[in-house]
Amino acid sequence: MKSFIDYFNCGQYVQPRNKEWGYYQCTKFTDNFEIIRSFFNQYPIQGVKFKDFKDWEKVGIMIKNKEHLTQKGASTIIQIKSNMNTGRLFDDKD
């Protein structure tokens, strides 16, 4: 996980107090949108998580275009989020 910081040149390694494990975290929008997104477009995720990535990417584009600041945009993002991860139907053909 720590090597992700060097590879992407962004993010941080977070180790919760009193835990032996940690995780990579990138919270800066521009780093996520430009660096992380580019990586996963170049090296696509396999399986159903690819659909979650594409939804995440749609939301990122909406945020970049400031659509999240409108009621319609915010509602669309909430709908997209509700269909990600465990909310995604297995027969989703998108």
How many Cβ atoms sit within 10 Å of the Cβ of residue 55?
Answer: 19
Question: What is the per-residue pLDDT across 47-67, written as a single tens digit (0 to 9) for each?
Answer: 889 999 999 999 999 999 999
pLDDT at 94 over 60: no
Residue 71 has, within 13 A of its CA and on its CB side, a CA count of 0
User: pTM (2 decimals)?
Assistant: 0.82
| C-alpha R_g of the chain | 15
CA distance 54 to 59: 9
pLDDT band at 78 (very low <50, low <70, confident <90, very high): very high
